[in-house]
Structure 1
Amino acid sequence: MASPELPRPGQFRCSVGPFKAMLRWVEWGPPDGMPVVCVHGLTRNGRDFDALALRLAARGRRVICPDVFGRGNSDWLPDGKFYNVPAYALAFRGFLAHLPKPYDWVGTSMGGLIGMAIGAIPGLSPRRLVLNDVGPFLPARALTRIAAYLAVRHDFASLEEVETHLRLVHAAFGDLPDVAWHHMAETSSRRTPDGRLVMHYDPAIADPVVGAPVVDVDLWPVWKTLAQPILVIRGAESDLLDEATAAAMAARPDTRLAVFPRCGHAPALIDSDQTAVVAEFLS
Structure 2
Amino acid sequence: MAEALCDRYYVVCPDIVGRGDSDYLSNPMFYTVPQYLSDMVSLSSKLSIEQVNWFGTSMGGLIGMVYAAMPGHRVRRLILNDVGPRIEAAALIRLASYVGKPFAYVNRHIALEKLNSICAPFGKHTDSEWELLNGPMLLEKNAQWILHYDPAISVPFSAVTPAIAKAGELAMWQSFQSIDCPILIVRGAESDLLSKQTVAEMCALNPRATSIEIEKVGHAPAFIKAEQIDIARQFFL
TM-score normalised by the chain length of structure 2: 0.92
The amino acid of 2:216's aligned partner reads R
Counterparts of 1:277 and 1:200 in 2: how far apart (Å)?
29
Asked if the contact 1:97–1:124 (Cα under 8 Å) also holds between the matched residues in 2, the reply is no
Q: What are the within-5 Å matches in structure 2 for residues 133-152 of structure 1?
A: 133-152=82-101
Question: RMSD across aligned C-alpha pairs, in angstroms?
Answer: 1.5
Gaps of 5+ in 2: none
Deviation at 1:275, TM superposition (A): 0.5
SS in 2 for 1:197: strand
- Alignment partners' CA distance in 1, 2:111 and 2:132: 11
Match of 1:66 in 2: 14
- Cα distance between partner residues in 1 of 2:10 and 2:122: 25
Report if the CA contact (8 A) 2:86-2:198 is conserved: yes
State how far apart, in whole Å, the 2-side matches of 1:168 and 1:53 are: 24
Deviations 1:217-251 (A, max 9, x none): 34211111111000110000111110001122233
* Structure ranking higher on relative contact order (CA contacts 8 Å, 6+ apart): 2
Task: Report Cα offsets for 1:134-167 as digits up to 9, x if no partner.
Answer: 0111122321221122252110111211221122
Give the alignment partner of residue 132 of structure 2, picking from 161, 165, 183.
183
Structure 2 residue identity aligned to 1:188: M
Aligned partner letter, 2:156? P
Asked if structure 2 preserves the Cα contact closer than 8 Å seen for 1:132 and 1:234, the reply is yes
The residue aligned with 2:209 is 255
| Secondary structure of residue in 1 paired with 2:153 | helix
Structure 2 CA distance, aligned partners of 1:148 and 1:213?
Answer: 17
Query: What pairs up with 1:189-204 in 2 under 5 angstroms?
Result: 189-192=138-141, 194-204=142-152
- Are the equivalent residues in 1 in contact too, given 2:100–2:150 (CA < 8 A)? no
State the 4+ residue runs in structure 1 displaced beyond 4 angstroms. none
After TM superposition, the structure 1 = structure 2 runs for residues 1-283 of structure 1, keeping only pairs within 5 Å, are 52-58=1-7, 60-98=8-46, 99-192=48-141, 194-213=142-161, 215=165, 217-218=169-170, 219-251=172-204, 252-283=206-237
Whose helix proportion is higher, 1 or 2?
2
Amino-acid identity (%) = 37
Cα displacement (A) at 1:211: 4.9
Superposed displacement of residue 190, structure 1: 0.8
* 1-structure distance, mates of 2:209, 2:39: 27
Conserved 8 A contact 2:50-2:74: no
**Deviating more after overlay: 181-190 vs 214-223:** 214-223
Give unpaired runs (5+ residues) of structure 1.
1-51
Equivalent position SS for 1:137: coil
Whole-angstrom distance in 2 between the partners of 1:94 and 1:184:
27
Say whether the 8 Å CA contact 1:137–1:245 is kept in structure 2. yes
1:176 alignment partner, SS class: coil
Matched residue SS, 1:105 = strand
CA distance in 2, matches of 1:107, 1:167: 21
CA distance in 1 between counterparts of 2:78 and 2:133 reads 25
Work out whether residues 190 and 219 of structure 2, in 8 Å CA contact, stay in contact via their aligned partners in 1.
Answer: yes
- Answer with 121-130 or 213-222: which moved more: 213-222
